[in-house]
Amino acid sequence: MPSGTAPTVRQRRIGSALRKARDRHNLTVATVARRFGRSQGWMSMVENGLQAIAPDELSDLLDLYGIEDGPLRESLLHLATHRRGTWERAWEGRISAAALDLASLEEDADVIRTFQPNLVPGLLQIPDYNRKLIAVGPAKHNSKALVDFRLSRQQVLSAPNPPRYIPIISEAVLHNRVGGDPGILRRQLQRLGEAARLKHIDLRVLPREASEYLWLITPYHLLSLRPPGRLTVSVSDQLNRSIFVEDEDEVAAHEEIFELLLSATLSRSSSLLLIEEVASHS
């Protein structure tokens, strides 16, 4: 059974790193379990992300695998120290485990990169905009909790030490009237303009002239966790679920695509000017 003491995405990331380290040494699960003084079942659960591991035990395992001080070791130990806080426990049972995982990663991120070709990114949505989106989806019965949860997630951008946030949106997003209400769009554009002026937010617009880039990937997020190291997770948005991509090669490919998208966007200042121009005519 899952331990429940840490978000599963963290446990999976730790487990994946331990499995790769074991494979590099050509060791079996049984051999490591015997040397480490744990059962083979426990070791398998840890490697499959189904069991949390205490930081001191993780440190001993990393010593066994010869993983010395550096970004990887530091990041894995950092992941192992996480325990669900009061904020997260308050939402259990009301919000999906995947959504809680995403919010937890956002809180622990050093850099958040987002690509949204059709909608304003969730961390920048005003309540009315978000409410209209939820109203046409499969979870509309849980609308109030979802809107409140979205507002809680947005607090990460106003925290004392916020992550660097780099959202890319297509120009069409500035014109899409969610809910058919021009007032909602106008207020939403004002919110985008306010966010774009903040030092830690680098909001970029992919212009219509570069629409050929839109096919490269579906909406997704890249979350690079503190402390800066090798631990970046890609999260793809689908209708009613999020898919967490943790394989290093896949994540690296998603990072390359993001840089390609970024190269086709307007500059930071030009993006803000376009947002303000559209807002003035909305």
The pLDDT tens digits for 165-213 are 999 999 999 999 998 889 999 999 999 999 999 999 999 999 999 999 9
Cα–Cα distance measured from residue 83 to residue 68, given in angstroms and rounded to the nearest whole number:
24
Decide whether 8-80 matches 102-280 in CATH topology. Answer: no
Cα–Cα distance measured from residue 169 to residue 114, given in angstroms and rounded to the nearest whole number:
8
> Which of these, 99, 24, 114, 31, lies nearest to 65 by C-alpha position?
24
Distant-in-sequence, close-in-space partners of 39: CB < 8 Å, separation ≥ 6: 33
Lowest-confidence pick of 129-133, 134-138, 184-188, 225-229: 225-229
Cα–Cα distance measured from residue 34 to residue 258, given in angstroms and rounded to the nearest whole number:
44
> Which of these, 8, 1, 2, lies nearest to 246 by C-alpha position?
8
Cα–Cα distance measured from residue 82 to residue 103, given in angstroms and rounded to the nearest whole number:
13
Identify which has the larger pLDDT, 90 or 162.
Answer: 162
Q: Per-residue pLDDT averaged across 74-91, rounded?
A: 74
CATH class of the domain defined by 102-280: alpha beta
Cα–Cα distance measured from residue 186 to residue 29, given in angstroms and rounded to the nearest whole number:
58
* Max avg pLDDT among 104-108, 144-148, 214-218, 241-245: 214-218
Answer whether residue 126 shows pLDDT above 60. yes
Lowest-confidence pick of 47-51, 89-93, 123-127, 243-247: 89-93
The model's pTM? 0.84
pLDDT at 99: 83
pLDDT at 86: 55
Question: Cα–Cα distances in Å, from 231 out to 30, 124, 245?
Answer: 27, 25, 11
Identify which has the larger pLDDT, 92 or 54.
Answer: 54
Architecture of the structural domain at 8-80: Orthogonal Bundle (1.10)
Tokens of 111: 């850099």
Percent of the chain with pLDDT over 90: 60
Query: φ, ψ for residue 19 (rounded to 5)?
Result: -65, -45
Query: φ, ψ for residue 2 (rounded to 5)?
Result: -60, 145
Q: 10 Å Cβ neighbour count for 104?
A: 20
Q: Strand runs (DSSP E) across the chain, as ranges?
A: 109-116, 164-170, 204-206, 220-225, 232-237, 242-245
Q: Which amino acid is at 174?
A: L
| Domain extent listing, the chain | 8-80, 102-280
